[in-house]
Amino acid sequence: MEEFSFSGSSSDAVEALLDEVTTETQPQPLFDGSSLRGQIAIVTGGSSGIGRAVAMELARCGVDVAFCFLDTGSQARLDAQEVARQLRQFEVRVFFRHCDVRESKEVNAFVAEAIEELGGVHILVNNAGIGRDRALWHLQDHEWEAVVRTNLDGAFYFTRAVAGVMRAREYGKIVNITSVHGIRSEFGISNYSSSKAGLIGLTRSAAVELGPRNINVNAVAPGYIRTTRLTEGVPSENLDRARAQSVLGRLGDPQDVAGVVLFLCSEAARHITGVVIPVDGGYLL
């Protein structure tokens, strides 16, 4: 064992050791996902935030990508077109179009078109999600329904739509993007927490039902992740509190989540199913 000798105080010794530690503030794509090359993935909500980062990581590994987005206007369409352009720079095939994940008929049509266009599906990442924060005694019916139908119903519809193809192939990877708030709630997010807790239940149930056909179903539970929606929609004092509660003292990046999703989609995770992996910087500790 290497020995260290200091002539100063113990605090000097601690400072000297800390000076040798380099803080990496940006995640690096270290995982080798080359074994995924040639596979086909569907990513819901793939035009921004975590969904975009996941789609990019999959494409970087040679995975053909189909992604859906919610058409809320010209900017949403432009964003989706730009993501598709960036994905194609990895020389993979890309299929994308609008799909309201709350509508089962639209989901079935999107999945059928994606499979026809790309030739199948090996990976599903249920990422599409929204929040409508309000104290539960002020929460309107439409605010509850919109969140639960998007975050939970949408994941169920997509999982059901790909299950037959994956079962016939006897291979598949499904990753659900839940949240730390599906594990531990906060004030004003009863609809969001309920939907994300339900998604954890869906993950485990699907793992039990699909596992006999060699289909892995897992979930990733992000903490506070730096996305446009987060930074624009969450008060700064909440973000400061989230940083303080994280043992790493920082918010996460979409890339932090995408790296874990990539691992769960790979054969390195072939014997992992029905689990929920927090990506929260120690927020839940």
Which positions are catalytic? 192
**C-alpha distances in angstroms, 251 versus 24, 27, 179, 248?**
13, 12, 14, 8
Q: Going by C-beta distance under 8 Å and a sequence separation of 6 or more, which residues neighbour residue 116?
A: none
**C-alpha distances in angstroms, 214 versus 21, 22, 192, 209, 271?**
42, 41, 31, 10, 10
Tell me 216's DSSP state. Answer: E
Q: Which residues pair with residue 94 across a beta bridge?
A: 65
User: What is the C-alpha separation between 174 and 41, in angstroms, rounded?
Assistant: 10
**C-alpha distances in angstroms, 160 versus 153, 202, 246, 261?**
10, 11, 35, 20
User: What is the C-alpha separation between 154 and 199, in angstroms, rounded?
Assistant: 10
